[in-house]
Structure 1
Amino acid sequence: MPRFVLTKGFTLKTIKMIIEQFKDEFLAHYSYAIVSECEQKIILIDPSRNPEPYYEFAKKFEAEIIGVIETHPHADFVSSHLQIHQDTGATIYAHSLTGVAYPFTPFDEGDEISFGKIKLKSLHTPGHSPDSISIVLEHDGRDKAVFTGDTLFIGDCGRPDLRESVGNLQAKREELARKMYHSLRDKMMKLADEVLVYPAHGSGTLCGKALSTANSSTIGAEKLSNWSLQEMTEDDFVKELIADQPFIPKYFGFDVDLNRKGAAAFSPQMEKVKVLNNLDAEVLDADVLVVDARPENIFKEGHLPGAVNIVYGKKFETWLGSIVRPREKFYLTAADQEQLAELIRRTASIGYEDFIEAAFVTYTGDVIMPVMPLEYFISNPEAFTVIDVRNENEVKKKTIFSDSLNIPLGELRERIKEVPAGKPVVVHCAGGSRSAAGSSIIAAELGAEIPVYDLGGAVRDFSSAEK
């Protein structure tokens, strides 16, 4: 597993100008640094929570960070725009509709920022949110690139259903979907075909449903291949865009509001997290949730009472923010100190670091989960209650067990009373990672009454509706 750093996706270099892409692979997030070499100045777009990679980049060029542009208040990660402003004096730019609590300069339709031979032009492109903007980069008098935020992705466009209940500007998804239809056609598609497209997210984000694995494109290429730019009626576009969108994690609304306020500085927040070197389990508050990130096989061999197994992996942040409610205190534990330190930083990328009651390494525990009796299950499926923790759109596409009860993982803690206690429980997902968390949640509630099993990766062997 890669260390938690922002990796450089690519560098586009022309005479006196550089565009550097940074990638947070865990949240499938792209941020950008635009460098005017002739003036040694940098403007950042949609930076991640930890500003250090941008500071290191600026130091390499002996350049000054003069601005940070937020394309919208992000739902899936926390931005470092306020800290960068406080550390460097850089101006924060955002659309005036955003309603932010930090000092900023409005960057509305038609507004421009010029430095060196670079001109950045704001396009108001509502659809993902009412206050979304895209930024066109003009260099030497020609449009060269557009930073599309969550408006236009490679192969897709932004989802329109995240502002129905959060943010200062709430809007119905149908209303935003119609705005997206016009933003794409009246703004994006009117740019020249050769203009490069740099989105805020790639494949793996929950801000869209069909993103490509590519990290850049052109307007011309997207006109040919992106479904959202094809010829269709507005009604047909709205119907397609709204259908089968991914679930919305619990933390999304919290992050929108936090990004509108501006998050606290990253390093001081890391130093505030209490790390226990010698754990005495008796000192832990039994009412506080334990998030155990160790591998599922080790977790099953021994863990703390009531622990939820959110396995260390690429989707840790997503499932942490889907299972744990904003402002809910929790203990964080991992297999070793290195993983623990990384997971604390990754927790901060969604703004949850303040909710860590304490963090520590765990080697074992008194609670053991039983081994899945696979052969008996295959022969006697009726003897078990099968819980499917996949999302509803996944279940619609493919049913694995016809008599299963579908409770999506992100809803399981709130709907735990719906799980019948009359028979042993088998929990499954699509590949095994979510069922580890799901089975641990159910076991914490019912494990003393009935056996709870994790089908794990064996689910791949069940290709038909019932075995």
Structure 2
Amino acid sequence: MKIEQIYTGCLAQGAYYIVSGNEAAIIDPLRETKPYLERLEKDKVTLKYIFETHFHADFVSGHLDLSEKTGADIVYGPTAQPDFKATIAEDEQIFEIGAVKIKVLHTPGHTMESSTYLLIDEDGRETAIFSGDTLFLGDVGRPDLAQKATHLTQEQLAGLLYESLQHKIMPLPDDIVVYPAHGAGSACGKNMQKETVDTLGNQKKTNYALLQPDKESFIREVLHGLSAPPAYFGMNVAMNKGGYKSFDEVMRKANTPVSIEDFETLAEQSGALILDTRPAAEFHKGFIPNSINIGLKGDFAPWVGAMIVDVQQPILLVSEPGTEEEVITRLSRVGFDHVLGFLDGSFASWKSSGKEIDSIHRISAEEFAQRYTEDTKVVDVRKDGEYHVAHVVNALKMPLAEINDWASSLNNEEHFVIHCAGGYRSMIAASILNSRGIRNFTEVEGGFAKIKETQIPKTEAGCTNKAV
């Protein structure tokens, strides 16, 4: 038997590849099928089952394309109602892969169809669970995503999750290995550990959710501090449940170089958003007017989903040469299938043609320190938790994820300085503000990581505006 975790860091997502004898199973695959097909060919095994732990919200799964290419059955837990052919398992139903077995444990709460898959090895020993979004390392799946679909409150869903954990997961042996669907950085939880594999026994000792004394405490603690889910989540659920274009078709249409003239025409006629995926260090020096910068070398796909929101939005790409296929792949993982092409020659061709360009005023933390006064207006676009640990005294807390709520409150007549933790998110914010005509600002290279090395007054951890 072989178990391989295929972890994708930019999505904080784990897919799983299981082999026994000449058969294999894959759990929660990503959109592109090539990595899985290569493993199957290398191991000379047949894919028998594609197990889905639930209808995912944060990414588009590869179940349909993978089933089409391999003939493998798609399996969901009880109550799932996909709009395509799939096996809807019963609670505790057994599926055989070679000499091992997968037992379905229906664990509703994150969603109603959510299921955990219990692996029973060749000797009949319960070995591991593939817990999806039911149980993370250090956390559990947020119970607020399925409210509209179920007409249940988040408190009711949290109560169901508590019962699932208590009756289906906690009785399992401590040496069971836990393989979750996500790790730290995912918006599907709030308190996940950086590790991606652990034992159930250790989680029973360290996971705050599993340590709650009763259901009421569990519900209160699990729901406390949840930020609003990204707006694209619902659209990804719809794609996973209803179907989508094949990844191969999406790649063929999107991976197309577009001349400068056609790029301008497409942008004007289609209403396409110009997405510049170059690093912030390059983008700020010059870009096509009204471009939005979300750098590929970062949490690219989740921020695209959070900022662009509508997966139907037509997109034109400006990317570093040679990265176009990766950009399109990562966009497709979160459902953005309407890429019209990429600028041939990237920004260099635009600039050399003499077309109009724009730029963002960026300074180092040292320059910021030299210019800083008590009257300097500072906009901090980090998350709430980061801000409360420490921040520039009197800085305004304006998380990037909420930019549509606070952007209009800025006075373009009053200069401000904008920063995040390291410069990635602040350049996203800067490009969005710039595209909306808010341009009287300066962005700080290196963000708070560099600012805290200067003499600019900063708060103590947990304080509001007490300088250190």
Q: Following the alignment from structure 2 to structure 1, what is the Cα–Cα distance between the partners of residues 314 and 258? A: 19
- Residue 372 in structure 1 maps to residue 353 in structure 2: no
Worse overlay, 431-440 or 456-465: 456-465
The answer to whether the aligner puts 1:362 opposite 2:352 as a matched pair is: no
User: Structure 2: how far apart are the matches of 1:56 and 1:455?
Assistant: 44
CA distance in structure 1 between the aligned counterparts of 2:434 and 2:426, rounded to whole angstroms: 12
2:135 equivalent in structure 1: 152
Partner residue of 1:141 out of 116, 121, 124: 124
1:193 aligned onto 2:182:
no
1:233 matched to which residue of 2? 214
| 1:69 positional shift | 0.9
Aligned pair partner of 1:417 in 388, 400, 408:
408
The Cα of 1:75 is off from its aligned counterpart by 0.8
Query: In structure 1, what is the Cα distance between the partners aligned to 2:400 and 2:368?
Result: 26
- Whether 1:325 and 2:309 are equivalent positions in the alignment is yes
Equivalent pairs: percent with the same residue?
A: 31
Aligned length: 442
Q: Do structure 1's residue 53 and structure 2's residue 45 form an aligned pair?
A: no
Deviates further, 380-389 or 112-121: 380-389
CA distance in 1, matches of 2:404, 2:323: 26
2:138 corresponds to which letter in structure 1?
Answer: G
User: What pairs up with 1:213-232 in 2 under 5 angstroms?
Assistant: 213-232=194-213
Helix, strand or coil at the partner of 2:313: coil
Question: What is the TM-score when the length of structure 1 is the normalising length?
Answer: 0.88
Structure 2 residue 264 is the aligned partner of structure 1 residue 279: no
Q: Does 1:297 align with 2:281?
A: yes
Q: Tell me which amino acid in the other structure corresponds to 1:209.
A: K
- The CA distance in 2 between the partners of 1:440 and 1:401, in whole Å, is 25
CA-CA distance at 1:27 after TM superposition: 0.7
Q: Hey, what's the Cα distance between the residues in 1 that align with 2:177 and 2:210? A: 16
Deviation string for 1:5-40 (max 9, x for gaps)?
A: xxxxxxxxxxxx222221112111111122121xx1
RMSD, matched Cα: 2.3
Pairing partner for 1:455 from 417, 441, 444:
444
Question: Residues 376 and 294 (structure 1 numbering): CA distance in 2 closer, same or farther, change over 3 Å?
Answer: closer
Q: What is the CA–CA distance in structure 1 between the aligned matches of 2:285 and 2:157, rounded to whole Å?
A: 48
Query: How far apart, CA to CA, are the structure 2 residues paired with 1:403 and 1:207?
Result: 28
Q: What residue in structure 1 maps to residue 295 of structure 2?
A: 311
Any unmatched runs of 5+ in structure 1?
A: 1-16
1:431-446 matched pairs, under 5 angstroms: 431-446=422-437
Q: 1:170 to 1:70 in 2, by over 3 A?
A: farther
Whole-angstrom CA distance in 1 between matches of 2:20 and 2:362: 60
Deviation at 1:49, TM superposition (A): 0.6
Distance (Å, rounded) in 2 between the aligned partners of 1:410 and 1:51: 31
Q: 2:62 aligns with which of 77, 80, 87?
A: 80
Name structure 2 gaps, 5 residues minimum.
Answer: 453-457, 460-464
- Cα distance in 2, alignment partners of residues 274 and 342 from structure 1: 10
Aligned partner of 1:42 in structure 2 is 24
Aligned residue for 1:427, secondary structure, equals strand
Does structure 2 retain, via aligned residues, the 8 Å contact 1:384–1:423?
no
2: CA distance between counterparts of 1:434 and 1:466?
Answer: 25
